[in-house]
Amino acid sequence: MPILTPTALVLGVLFPQVTGRFLPYVIGFFAFMTFQGSLDSDFRQLKKVFCNLLPLIVTLGMLHIWIPCLARFLGGVFFGFNPNLVAGIVLEYIVPTGIVSFMWVNIYKGNGSLTLSIILLDTLLAPIIVPASLKVLLGTSVQMDTIGMMKDMLLMVAVPAVAGITINQLSHGNANKRVKPALAPFGKAALFLVVSGNSSRVAPYIRHLTPTLVGVAVLILCISASGYLWGILAAKVLHQSKDTLVSMAYNSGMRNISAGAVLAGAYFPPAVMFPVMIGTLFQQVLAALYGTWFNKKREIG
């Protein structure tokens, strides 16, 4: 993952005439990714989290209140002269938590049930939360089709997620054991096509970087890195276990950037795409760096 998404971004920038041909199909590709990623979940896993709802509620608050407001404030302070850049910065941090966070949580022995519950609820609520957050944080500074965005979020995220979870539930976990691994290579291919296709729209900006765009990239890196720290801090304040701390860190720090890129490409000017897509360069690398830190802390402890 730390190699796949940046490679797709680079190829999209270098060969936009080729990768741009994928753009009409990115919503379908993304829906397939969501379906394949949801095949390891079932509704019973939510019951395990209901005994301790506080970490889930706090993490969702981080994802959709604190960090987006921080991004809106910092974006306005440094780039308020360009509404499109501010819109891209906000869009980067209001999309749902990254489904791939479950992989990182498993690798570093986090709380899998909590992570699955956060991903499931955040994914199902995305068609409502994302358009509403954009409306509240951006107001009328950027024109957007809220109804159309909600429909696309339903098609990309909510419907395929429910379908995947339902199939796994009805198959008593066989879908997770057999279907998900079989579809995994196609899921990676879909991710590659989504990222490379969307990055073709941002190619002119990356090829002609200005001091302003470099500043946007630095701000995205700083906010993304801080997301993990906010999750760690919240877990410590709540006196949570180490496995829950790992889950809160990854779910607060990771975003479904591909979803943001699809929305940016469908509903906003090309300039909005740059802050969203530049996050693909940092997300997986940051996840690996924090994972190394968790391992060191575990060894010391």
Contact 259, 30 (CB under 8 A): yes
Predicted pLDDT at 115: 82
In angstroms, rounded to a whole number, what is the distance separating the alpha carbons of residues 64 and 122?
Answer: 9
Share of the chain above pLDDT 90, in %: 30
In a domain, 50, yes or no: yes
In a domain, 298, yes or no: no
In a domain, 275, yes or no: yes
In angstroms, rounded to a whole number, what is the distance separating the alpha carbons of residues 203 and 99?
Answer: 26
Structure token digits, residue 191:
């991710």
* Confidence bin at 104 (pLDDT 50/70/90): confident
In angstroms, rounded to a whole number, what is the distance separating the alpha carbons of residues 217 and 221?
Answer: 6
Q: What three-state secondary structure class fits 159?
A: helix
Predicted pLDDT at 218: 96
| Maximum C-alpha span of the chain | 54
Neighbour-count burial of 126, counting CB atoms closer than 10 A to its CB (0-12 exposed, 13-18 middle, 19+ buried) = buried
CA distance readout (Å), 214 to 5, 27, 87, 119, 221: 20, 29, 17, 31, 11
In a domain, 300, yes or no: no
pLDDT digits (tens, 9 = 90+) for 54-95: 999 999 999 999 999 999 999 999 999 999 999 999 999 998
Mean pLDDT of 285-296: 85
Question: Rg (Cα) of the chain, in Å, rounded?
Answer: 18
What is the per-residue burial (b if ≥16 Cβ within 10 Å, else e) of 202-220?
bbebbeeeeeebeebbebb
Mean pLDDT of 211-217: 93
Predicted pLDDT at 144: 55
Predicted pLDDT at 42: 74
In a domain, 120, yes or no: yes
In a domain, 115, yes or no: yes
Predicted pLDDT at 69: 96
pLDDT digits (tens, 9 = 90+) for 110-120: 887 788 788 87
In a domain, 299, yes or no: no
Contact 244, 111 (CB under 8 A): yes
Task: List all residues 6 or more positions away from 221 whose beta carbon is below 8 Å from its beta carbon.
Answer: 282
Closest CA to 4 of 181, 188, 185, 274: 188
Beta carbons within 10 angstroms of residue 199's beta carbon: 30
Higher pLDDT, 12 or 99: 12
pLDDT digits (tens, 9 = 90+) for 8-50: 878 888 888 888 888 888 888 878 887 887 787 777 766 666 7
In a domain, 301, yes or no: no
Domain count, the chain: 1
Residue 177's CATH number:
1.20.1530.20
* Confidence bin at 217 (pLDDT 50/70/90): very high
Please determine, for residue 2, whether its predicted confidence score (pLDDT) is greater than 70: no
Closest CA to 255 of 290, 220, 299, 203: 220
pTM: 0.77
CA distance readout (Å), 236 to 55, 242, 299: 11, 9, 18
Expressed as residue numbers, the domain containing 276 is 4-292
Contact 244, 110 (CB under 8 A): yes
